[in-house]
Amino acid sequence: MLELRWHSRAGQGAVTGVKALCDVMAHEGKHVQGFSVYGAEKRGAPMNAFNRVDENPIIDHSKAMKPDYVLVIDPSLVYTDIHYDIKETTKYIITTHLSKEELLEAVPAFAGKEIYLVDCIKISQEEIGRAMPNTPMLGALMKVSGLFEIDDFAGSMEKLLYKFPQKIIDGNVKAIKRAYAEVK
C-alpha cells in the first residue's frame, strides 16, 4: 500500500489535491482512499490530508499511517512538526523558495532525510494566476514517485478539471508539468 500525508493550510487545496490523486489513480484501476483531519479551524490553520493507494480494496478506516511520502504545500510549515509517524524510507516533497542547503540550515530536523524541493507557490502564481500549490505538488510527486508518465498524468488531470474555464485548465496543466521539471 502506498501512503501519503499532506501538510497544508486550510484553504490551500490539499483536500482537492487528495481527491484529484484519488481520481487519477482510481481511473488506473487502483483502489484509493482520501481523507483529511477536520476541525473547527478556519482558513489558514495548519491541517493534514491523507491518501492511500493499493491494488486491493482499502478497508482500514483508521487514521494511523506511516507515510511513504510527506507532501508539504505551504513553505512555512517546514518549521512545524511534520516528522511524526515517519519511516526510514519516507520521502518529503516540500514547497519552498529555499535551496536544499538553506533549508537544512534553517531546519536541522531534515538532516539525513530524503527531501525534494519545488516552489509550488511561485509556479501556481505564475501559471494559474493564484497561489494554489496543490496541482503542481502532484506534478512533483509524479517525478519523485514515478507513478505515472507526466503526459498521461497531465492528460488525466485535464479531464478531471473539465468543469473549469479553459484558462484555468491550461494553467494547471502547465503548472503540473513545470513542477515535474523543476522538482529537485
Interacting residue ranges for another protein, rule: CB under 8 A: 18-19, 22-23, 26-27, 30-36, 38-40, 58-64
Do the beta carbons of residue 90 and residue 69 sit within 8 Å? yes
Shortest Cβ distance from residue 57 to another protein (Å)?
Answer: 9
Nearest to another protein of 25, 121 (CB atom): 25
Nearest to another protein of 42, 61 (CB atom): 61
Shortest Cβ distance from residue 97 to another protein (Å)?
Answer: 31
Shortest Cβ distance from residue 81 to another protein (Å)?
Answer: 18
Nearest to another protein of 15, 169 (CB atom): 15
Buried/exposed code over 45-78 (b: 16+ C-beta within 10 A; e: otherwise):
eebbbbbbbbeeeeeeeeeebebbbbbbbbbebb
Tell me which residue of 149, 153, 148, 115 sits closest to 135, measured CA to CA.
Answer: 153
How far apart CA 55 and CA 111 sit, in angstroms, is: 33
Nearest to another protein of 4, 107 (CB atom): 4
Tell me which residue of 75, 172, 78 sits closest to 125, measured CA to CA.
Answer: 172
Shortest Cβ distance from residue 84 to another protein (Å)?
Answer: 14
How far apart CA 7 and CA 78 sit, in angstroms, is: 9
Phi, psi of 36 (to 5 degrees): -140, 170
38, three cell numbers: 477536520
Nearest to another protein of 102, 152 (CB atom): 152
Tell me which residue of 131, 97, 124 sits closest to 178, measured CA to CA.
Answer: 124
Shortest Cβ distance from residue 47 to another protein (Å)?
Answer: 12
